[in-house]
């Protein structure tokens, strides 16, 4: 990182130094090449302009105005103008006492325009005499002046002699200027590079300070905005990924459960089916003791009845996966549903001696899938009847609790080992290890209850009490 920083700094620094040196060199060369000529043209035009002013002053018909104009001519240009009449006699020279002058102007002054003196090789017209006619009150006068800008070449010579000092000064100035400007540019660029490196590693914690409104400031703002958008996108992708992982894990578990379920079904149906086939085959050939057809036909029927019940429970389990069917929810009276199921269950002759206590004093409304809720309540009460000891009463409680409800069924039975409580909700798991369907059931009842309640977001729990077992569910 430091090597990159130094490399960037030196490159920018050298670029600045080169630009400044080239610029100053070009400016200085322009001064040497064009300043003398520019100065010569400027002075020539200035002298001619003042001469023209003197000519205009004569238009007023007053010679004194011409003399004033000639005084300004000399004061501003340092050129000596000479005013003569048509015969060559000197009429006026600024700052000269004319009474002491008795001689006529030399011939060289006369004429429309003549040259005198030698000139420099660079500017051949540096020194020359010019004449202009001035008409004052009908009389013509001649204005003579000599343009002498011989010293113009000194400017170029001085500039050439001063060049080494100027180059040294320009070099030092360029170093200082390049140093400050390069640091001003490099610092934000290095900060951007640092932040961009962190962004490449998915670290979006650092924010670039916006120190100006120029392109660098705008770039810093864009990087900050990009970091925010990338961070938000990464968070959304992580959330989606987590959901996807959960869905994949859930699908894997369902697939595993399906395999286990099919294996268990095959095992559970195979044994009773083989028993029925064996009994029927023996009765068909009157093999003793199966020649007693009424007795063994009844046993075969009971086995088939158990198989039918198991198949129906398997169909109920398959409906659990139909989420669109489970989504058909309505509001109904849970109190009325429980009362109806109790009345249907206790009418069986084998259950007349069972005492059920259900004294719900309030109407409980529930929004859920009616058919599956009825199946849950029916299975819970059915288990209470099947596993109650003697003629002990079954206690059912139902009441409103906050915005939800509470429902429980308590029956007297043997205590269930704590390590077995959670396993009872697994498919085909029975406390009765012998596999006897008469005493151990199919092992699907509590599994179906758990699936229906989980999908409908109803919580449940099976707990041991001092005198039995209680099944609770609530929302």
* pLDDT tier for residue 327 given thresholds of 50, 70 and 90: low
What pLDDT does residue 224 have? 79
From the list 378, 381, 375, 383, the residue with the least C-alpha distance to 431 is 383
Tell me if 248 is assigned to some domain.
no
CATH number for the domain spanning 451: value is 3.30.565.10
Residue 338 has pLDDT above 90, yes or no: yes
Which of the pair, 7 or 366, is modelled with greater confidence?
366
CATH number for the domain spanning 55: value is 3.30.450.20
Tell me if 220 is assigned to some domain.
no
Residue 186 Cα distances to 10, 90, 227, angstroms? 10, 74, 21
Q: How far apart are the first and last CA of the chain?
A: 60
The least confident of 197-211, 285-299, 313-327 is: 313-327
Which of the pair, 381 or 32, is modelled with greater confidence?
381
The 10 Å CB-count burial string (b at 16+, else e) for 286-311 is eeeebeeeeebeeebeebeebbeebe
For 259, the enclosing helix (H) or strand (E) is helix 215-284
The rounded distance, in Å, linking the Cα atoms of 249 and 246 is: 5
The rounded distance, in Å, linking the Cα atoms of 9 and 185 is: 9
- Residues 70-85, mean pLDDT to the nearest whole number: 88
216 contacts 188 by C-beta, under 8 angstroms? yes
The least confident of 19-28, 119-128, 241-250, 266-275 is: 119-128
- Domains in the chain, number: 2
Domain endpoint, select from 167, 184, 203: 167
- Residues 231-259, mean pLDDT to the nearest whole number: 83
The encoded tokens of residue 62 equal 């007053």
Longest Cα–Cα distance of the chain, Å, equals 183
122 contacts 176 by C-beta, under 8 angstroms? no
The rounded distance, in Å, linking the Cα atoms of 42 and 76 is: 13
What pLDDT does residue 318 have? 65
> Model pTM greater than 0.75?
no
Where does 58-94 have alpha helices with state H?
63-77
From the list 148, 146, 152, the residue with the least C-alpha distance to 51 is 146
The least confident of 168-177, 312-321, 373-382 is: 312-321
For 133, the enclosing helix (H) or strand (E) is strand 127-136
- Residues 346-368, mean pLDDT to the nearest whole number: 79
Tell me if 241 is assigned to some domain.
no
Average pLDDT, the chain: 77
- Max avg pLDDT among 231-235, 350-354, 387-391: 231-235
Residue 125 has pLDDT above 50, yes or no: no
What pLDDT does residue 332 have? 94
Where does 285-352 have alpha helices with state H?
293-320, 323-326, 334-345
Residue 273's CB is within 10 A of a number of other CB atoms, namely 13
Tell me if 219 is assigned to some domain.
no
What pLDDT does residue 111 have? 38
Tell me if 64 is assigned to some domain.
yes
Domain endpoint, select from 147, 167, 187: 167
The rounded distance, in Å, linking the Cα atoms of 301 and 297 is: 6
- Per residue in 301-310, pLDDT (tens digit) is 877 877 777 6
How does DSSP assign 260-273, residue by residue?
HHHHHHHHHHHHHH
Q: Name, in order, each residue with C-beta under 8 angstroms of 454's C-beta and a sequence gap of 6 or more.
A: none
What pLDDT does residue 363 have? 92
Domain endpoint, select from 134, 167, 200: 167
* pLDDT tier for residue 391 given thresholds of 50, 70 and 90: low
- Residues 320-340, mean pLDDT to the nearest whole number: 77
Tell me if 428 is assigned to some domain.
yes
Tell me if 11 is assigned to some domain.
yes
How does DSSP assign 403-419, residue by residue?
TEEEEEEEE--PPPPHH
* pLDDT tier for residue 124 given thresholds of 50, 70 and 90: very low
- 156-159, Cβ contacts within 8 angstroms, sequence gap of 24 or more: 156/32, 156/35, 156/36, 156/122, 159/28, 159/31, 159/32, 159/35
- Residues 69-77, mean pLDDT to the nearest whole number: 88
Residue 132 Cα distances to 52, 84, 107, 109, 336, angstroms? 8, 11, 15, 11, 132
The rounded distance, in Å, linking the Cα atoms of 361 and 158 is: 119
Q: Please report where in the chains the tokens 């001519």 appear, as a residue.
A: 73
How does DSSP assign 4-35, residue by residue?
HHHHHHHHHHHHHHHHHHHHHHHHHHHHHHHH
Question: Domain range spanning residue 12?
Answer: 2-167
The rounded distance, in Å, linking the Cα atoms of 469 and 34 is: 113
Tell me if 185 is assigned to some domain.
no
Residue 107 has pLDDT above 50, yes or no: no
- Per residue in 196-224, pLDDT (tens digit) is 777 777 777 777 777 667 677 777 777 77
């Amino acid at each position: 990182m430091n090597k990159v920083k130094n490399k960037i700094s030196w490159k920018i620094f050298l670029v600045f130094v080169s630009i400044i040196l080239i610029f100053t060199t070009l400016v200085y060369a322009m001064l040497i090449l064009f300043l003398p000529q520019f100065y010569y043209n400027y002075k020539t035009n200035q002298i001619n302009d003042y001469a023209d002013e003197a000519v205009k002053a004569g238009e007023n018909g007053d010679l004194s105005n011409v003399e004033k104009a000639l005084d300004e001519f000399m004061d501003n240009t340092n050129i000596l103008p000479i005013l003569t009449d048509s015969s060559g006699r000197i009429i006026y020279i600024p700052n000269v006492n004319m009474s002491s002058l008795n001689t006529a102007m030399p011939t060289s002054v006369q004429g429309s325009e003549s040259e005198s003196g030698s000139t420099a090789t660079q500017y051949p017209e540096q020194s020359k005499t010019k004449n202009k006619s001035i008409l004052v009150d009908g009389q013509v006068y001649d204005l003579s002046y000599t343009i002498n800008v011989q010293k113009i070449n000194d400017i170029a010579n001085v500039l050439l002699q001063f060049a080494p000092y100027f180059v040294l000064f320009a070099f030092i100035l360029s170093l200082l200027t390049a140093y400050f400007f390069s640091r001003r540019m490099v610092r934000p660029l290095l900060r951007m590079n640092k932040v961009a490196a962190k962004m490449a590693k998915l670290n979006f914690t650092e924010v670039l300070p916006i120190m100006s409104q120029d392109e660098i400031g705008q770039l810093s703002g864009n990087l900050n905005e990009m970091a925010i958008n990338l961070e938000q996108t990464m968070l959304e992708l992580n959330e989606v990924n987590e959901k996807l992982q959960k869905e994949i894990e859930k699908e894997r578990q369902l697939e595993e459960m399906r395999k286990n379920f099919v294996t268990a079904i095959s095992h559970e149906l195979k044994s009773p089916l083989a028993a029925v086939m064996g009994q029927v085959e023996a009765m068909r050939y009157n093999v003793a003791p199966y020649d007693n057809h009424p007795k063994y036909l009844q046993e075969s029927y009971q086995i088939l009845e158990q198989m039918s019940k198991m198949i129906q429970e398997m169909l109920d389990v398959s409906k659990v996966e139909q989420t669109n069917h489970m989504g058909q929810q309505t509001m109904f009276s849970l109190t009325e549903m429980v009362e109806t199921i109790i009345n249907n269950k206790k009418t069986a002759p084998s259950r007349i001696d069972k005492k059920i206590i259900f004294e719900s004093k309030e109407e409980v409304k529930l929004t859920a899938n009616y058919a599956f809720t009825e199946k849950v309540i029916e299975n819970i009460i059915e288990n209470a009847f099947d596993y109650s000891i003697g003629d002990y009463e079954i206690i059912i409680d139902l009441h409103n609790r906050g915005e939800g409800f509470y429902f429980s069924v308590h029956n007297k039975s043997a205590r269930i080992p704590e390590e077995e409580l959670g396993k009872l909700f697994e498919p085909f798991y029975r406390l009765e290890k012998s596999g006897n369907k008469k005493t151990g059931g199919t092992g699907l009842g509590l599994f179906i209850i758990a699936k229906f309640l989980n999908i409908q977001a109803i919580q449940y729990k099976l707990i041991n009490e001092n005198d039995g077992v209680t099944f609770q569910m609530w929302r």
